[in-house]
Amino acid sequence: MADMDRTKPWVVMPLYYYPLDEATWKPLYDAAASYPDVNFLVVVNPNSGPGTEPLPGKDYAREVPRLNAFPNVHAVGYVRVDYCRKPLADACAEIDRYARWRRHPDAPPGLHVEGIYVDETPNHYSPSAARYLDHVRRLVKASDGLAGERSTVVHNPGTPPEGELASFGDPDLVCVCEEPYHLFQGDGLQRRLVDWAPEHERCVYQISGVPQDELPAAVHDLCRRGRYVFATDLVDDFYESFGPSWPGFVAANESPQLFVCAPWRRAKAPLPTLALAGSAPGRHLDHSGVKDRWYSRSWSTRLSSSSWSCPVSSRLAVRWLAD
């Protein structure tokens, strides 16, 4: 991702919200200014894609440069591929149209995106879909107008892709869950996420309908699952307005978190033991018999083992995984 710290938390904002005036996107500008240690992945969508003209309308030409003026904002362009049923030539033409914004003679400085959000990608493998998405990726990464190799390719199947499908087309990021909160909590989806979600650094979650009083805990839970998170209390038109929960959602992302994964084995080697020690009496987390479970606590202390030690503050999540 172009010149940005990927270890920081990332707010995802699918900004399908037409900027009628300079105040329309103000909540996003205010958040980016108020939380410099939070990065923002903003999906720009002038007309279900870039539109048919060489440049977007005057309102987008005014507001996209304002977005790009923030060092912690990374804007990508929206392209819908209809599960690879959209003609590849049409998808490539839209990508090329975004890429040409940067160098158009009539474009204002700062009118550009640095990657593509590929919506409605399949979650079932087929050779033709793999070829399609590989072509899309190569086009994006070869486009200087999209930041070239530093650009970002996001796939959105909306559900966890099966096994190696998280890698076919080689996306930088994958939206593994785009669901209302009550469906996200279902046992079936949770099992699928455990089985198929790619690694934390590549996972995107987009969750709607989160009750406001549950939002901070929900955001912390989502952040331990994936680096890139969108959550809102809205149940309708949630990509077309910011909603009452927007300030609290961004604030919850700022909370520092540490995630530690320790593998364990049932036989031969003893199970690892992690001890939490600080000025207070030492705390030990007993994981005997645990196969795949998260423990979350909040404190300020030091996490250590026989070979390493590091300070820990705020929220800590520790997970043991069978290998």
* 173-186: pLDDT as tens digits: 999 999 999 999 99
* Banded pLDDT at 298 (limits 50, 70, 90): very low
Whether residue 26 is found in the same domain as residue 165:
yes
Residue 164 is predicted with a pLDDT of 64
Separation of CA 322 from chain center: 26
Are 242 and 28 in contact by the 8 Å Cβ rule? The answer is yes
Q: Are 98 and 139 in contact (CB under 8 A)?
A: no
Residue 22, domain extent: 10-255
Note whether residue 217 is domain-resident: yes
Per-residue pLDDT at 272: 40
Tell me: do 177 and 308 sit in the same domain: no
Predicted TM-score of the model (pTM): 0.80
Same domain flag for 56 and 152: yes
Q: Which of 255, 276, 304 is the last residue of a domain?
A: 255
The tokens describing 317, both together, are 């999540």
Q: Is residue 244 part of a domain?
A: yes
Same domain, 183 and 233: yes
Tell me the mean pLDDT in the region 71-90: 98
Instruction: Quote the CA–CA distance of 295 and 60 in Å, as a whole number.
Output: 44
What pLDDT does residue 245 have?
A: 97
Q: Are residues 130 and 220 in the same domain?
A: yes
Q: Which residue has the higher pLDDT, 7 or 155?
A: 155
Residues 210 and 271 in one domain: no
What mean pLDDT comes out for the span 122-148?
Answer: 95
Pair 78, 196 in one domain: yes
Q: Cβ distance 119 to 166 under 8 Å? A: no
Among 214, 237, 255, identify where a domain stops: 255
173 by Cβ neighbours in 10 Å (0-12 / 13-18 / 19+) ranks as: buried
Q: How many domains does the chain have?
A: 2
Assess if residue 92 is contained within a domain: yes
**C-beta of residue 249 within 8 angstroms of C-beta of residue 11:** yes
Query: Among the three residues 208, 225, 255, which one is the final residue of a domain in this structure?
Result: 255
90 in the same domain as 61: yes
User: What is the predicted pLDDT for the residue at 7?
Assistant: 74
Q: What is the pLDDT of residues 277-293, one digit of tens each?
A: 332 333 333 333 333 33
Continuous segment of H or E residues that includes residue 100: helix 88-101
Residue 125 is which amino acid?
Y
Span 144-170, mean pLDDT? 87
- Dihedral-angle region of residue 104 (phi above 0 means left; psi in -120 to 50 means alpha; beta otherwise): beta
| β-sheet bridge partners, residue 275 | 284, 304
